[in-house]
Structure 1
Amino acid sequence: MPGMVLGGRYQVQDKIGTGGMATVFRGHDEVLGRTVAVKTMLPQYATDPSFAARFKQEAQAAAALQSPYIVSVYDWGKDADTYYIVMEYLRGTDLKSGIRKHGALDCKKVAQIGSQIAQALSVAHKHDIIHRDIKPQNIMVQPDGNIKVMDFGIARAKNSHLTTDNSVLGTAHYVSPEQTQGKELGPTTDLYSLGIVMYEASTGQVPFQGDDAITVALKQVNEQPKPPSQLNPAVDPSLESIILKCMQKDPAARFQTADELYRTLRDYLAGRMQSVNSATALLPAAATTALDRTGATGATNALPAVDRTGRFRPQSATEQAADQEAERAHKKKRNIILGVVGALALIAVIIFAVTSMLGSSTTAKAVPNLLGYTQDEAVQKIEEEGFEVGSVNSKYDSSVAEGKVCDQDPAANLQMPEGSTVNIWVSKGAEPAEEVEVPDLTNKSAADAESALEAVGLVGKVGSEEESDDVGAGKVSSQDPKAGTTAKAGDTVTFHLSTGPSQVVVTNVVGDDESTATSRLKQAGFKVSVQSVSSSSVSKGTVVSTDPGVNTSADKGATITLYVSSGPESVSITDVTGWSYADAKAELEGAGFTVKLASGSSAEGIVTKQSATGSATAGTTITLTTQAASTDGTGADKNPTNGGGSDAGSGTNGTSNSTSANSSNG
Structure 2
Amino acid sequence: MALVRGSRQSKLGLRLPDITERRPRFPPTASQLPKTTASQQPTTTADYETVQVLGHGNGGTVYKVVQKKTSNLFALKVVNAGSDPTMRRQVFREMDILRRTDSPYVVKCHEIFEKPDGDIAILMEYMDAGTLDSLSKTGGALTERTLAHVARQILNGLNYLHAHKIVHRDIKPANLLVNKNMEVKIADFGVSKIMHRTLDACDSYVGTCAYMSPERFDPDSYGANYNGYSGDIWSLGLTMLELFVGHFPLLPTGQKPDWATLMCAICFGEPPSLPEGVSDEFRGFIECCLQKDSGKRWTASQLLSHPFCRQPDNN
Equivalence map 1:465-504=2 (5 Å): none
Match of 2:145 in 1: 108
Task: Name the CA distance, whole Å, in 1 between partners of 2:14 and 2:175.
Answer: 27
Match of 1:205 in 2: 247
Secondary structure of the residue aligned to 1:98 is helix
Counting aligned pairs with the same residue, the percent is: 27
Equivalence map 1:215-614=2 (5 Å): 215-229=261-275, 233-255=276-298, 257-264=299-306, 268-270=310-312, 451=313
Question: Are residues 76 and 202 of structure 1, via their aligned partners in 2, closer, same or farther at CA, if it must alter by over 3 Å?
Answer: same
Q: Is 2:174 the counterpart of 1:134?
A: no
12, 18, 25: which one aligns with 2:63: 25
State the AA in 2 paired with 1:64. Answer: R
State the AA in 1 paired with 2:62. Answer: V
Task: Name the CA distance, whole Å, in 2 between partners of 1:151 and 1:85.
Answer: 11
Secondary structure of the residue aligned to 1:66 is coil
Question: Are residues 156 and 122 of structure 1, via their aligned partners in 2, closer, same or farther at CA, if it must alter by over 3 Å?
Answer: farther
Question: Are residues 7 and 261 of structure 1, via their aligned partners in 2, closer, same or farther at CA, if it must alter by over 3 Å?
Answer: farther
Task: Name the CA distance, whole Å, in 2 between partners of 1:154 and 1:57.
Answer: 11
Secondary structure of the residue aligned to 2:123 is strand
Equivalence map 1:119-130=2 (5 Å): 119-130=156-167
Question: Are residues 114 and 241 of structure 1, via their aligned partners in 2, closer, same or farther at CA, if it must alter by over 3 Å?
Answer: same
Match of 1:46 in 2: 82
Shift of 1:269: 0.8
Contact 1:36–1:87 (CA under 8 A) maintained in structure 2: yes
Task: Name the CA distance, whole Å, in 2 between partners of 1:204 and 1:146.
Answer: 20
Match of 2:18 in 1: 7
Shift of 1:144: 0.7
Contact 1:76–1:84 (CA under 8 A) maintained in structure 2: yes
Question: Are residues 250 and 49 of structure 1, via their aligned partners in 2, closer, same or farther at CA, if it must alter by over 3 Å?
Answer: same
State the AA in 1 paired with 2:59. Answer: M
Shift of 1:33: 5.9
Task: Name the CA distance, whole Å, in 2 between partners of 1:74 and 1:65.
Answer: 11
Equivalence map 1:148-227=2 (5 Å): 148-154=185-191, 165-167=198-200, 168=202, 171-181=208-218, 184-209=226-251, 211-227=257-273
Task: Name the CA distance, whole Å, in 2 between partners of 1:199 and 1:218.
Answer: 19
Secondary structure of the residue aligned to 1:248 is coil
Secondary structure of the residue aligned to 1:76 is strand
158, 165, 183: which one aligns with 1:146: 183
Shift of 1:18: 1.1
Task: Name the CA distance, whole Å, in 1 between partners of 2:139 and 2:106.
Answer: 24
Contact 2:132–2:178 (CA under 8 A) maintained in structure 1: yes
Task: Name the CA distance, whole Å, in 2 between partners of 1:179 and 1:69.
Answer: 26
Question: Are residues 104 and 267 of structure 1, via their aligned partners in 2, closer, same or farther at CA, if it must alter by over 3 Å?
Answer: closer
Match of 2:23 in 1: none
Secondary structure of the residue aligned to 1:228 is coil
Task: Name the CA distance, whole Å, in 2 between partners of 1:265 and 1:197.
Answer: 19
Question: Are residues 249 and 2 of structure 1, via their aligned partners in 2, closer, same or farther at CA, if it must alter by over 3 Å?
Answer: same
Secondary structure of the residue aligned to 1:129 is coil
Shift of 1:267: 5.1
Shift of 1:155: 6.3
Contact 2:60–2:78 (CA under 8 A) maintained in structure 1: yes
The answer for unaligned runs of 5 or more in structure 2 is 1-11, 20-43
Contact 1:46–1:83 (CA under 8 A) maintained in structure 2: no
Contact 1:208–1:220 (CA under 8 A) maintained in structure 2: yes
Structure (1 or 2) with the greater helix fraction:
2
| Number of aligned residue pairs | 263
Equivalence map 1:646-657=2 (5 Å): none
Shift of 1:205: 2.3
Shift of 1:2: 3.6
Structure (1 or 2) with the greater strand fraction:
1
Secondary structure of the residue aligned to 1:241 is helix
State the AA in 2 paired with 1:236. Answer: S
Contact 1:113–1:147 (CA under 8 A) maintained in structure 2: yes
State the AA in 2 paired with 1:221. Answer: C
State the AA in 2 paired with 1:178. Answer: E
46, 58, 82: which one aligns with 2:94: 58
Question: Are residues 155 and 67 of structure 1, via their aligned partners in 2, closer, same or farther at CA, if it must alter by over 3 Å?
Answer: farther
Secondary structure of the residue aligned to 1:46 is coil
State the AA in 1 paired with 2:107. Answer: V
Higher relative contact order (CA 8 A, sep 6+): 2
Q: Is 2:115 the counterpart of 1:69?
A: no
Match of 1:423 in 2: none
Q: Is 2:137 the counterpart of 1:95?
A: no
Secondary structure of the residue aligned to 2:305 is helix
State the AA in 2 paired with 1:93. Answer: G
Shift of 1:214: 2.1
Q: TM-score, normalised by structure 1?
A: 0.37
Shift of 1:227: 2.2
73, 84, 87: which one aligns with 1:35: 73
